[in-house]
Amino acid sequence: MAHSYEHTTQKGHGKAFAIGIGLNITFVAVEIFYGLIANSSALLADAGHNASDVLSLVFFCLVSNLACLTGLYGGQFRQDAQFLSEQPH
């Protein structure tokens, strides 16, 4: 039984990630501010954890945009993905 898949690229998700990054940065700033005022290592540790989340979102946005620019979403990548999806499991 042959399967046909239409692979489309997700464009326009940059706005959602920008909002997520902005909200997380705001949350990190608030946690650092109140962590310092309350002398709370728990709030400061959580701020550090959320800062790593922000970095991962920024990294994903950069890599995603780079992949779109270099054509990784099309061409050979698409052919390989189609080949792998047609293999018997």
35-78: pLDDT as tens digits: 999 999 999 999 999 999 999 989 988 887 777 766 655 555 55
- Tell whether 10 is covered by a domain: no
- The number of folded domains in the chain is 1
Do the domain assignments include residue 4? no
- Please give the residue range of the domain that contains residue 48: 15-85
Residue 1, in any domain of the structure: no
Residue 54: how many other CB atoms lie within 10 Å: 17
CB 70 within 8 A of CB 37: no
Burial degree of 11 (CB within 10 A; 0-12, 13-18, 19+):
exposed
Residue 3: inside a domain:
no
Model confidence at 27, pLDDT cuts 50, 70, 90, reads very high
Residue bearing tokens 């995603």: 64
Does some domain include residue 34? yes
pTM of the model: 0.62
- Is 62 a domain residue? yes
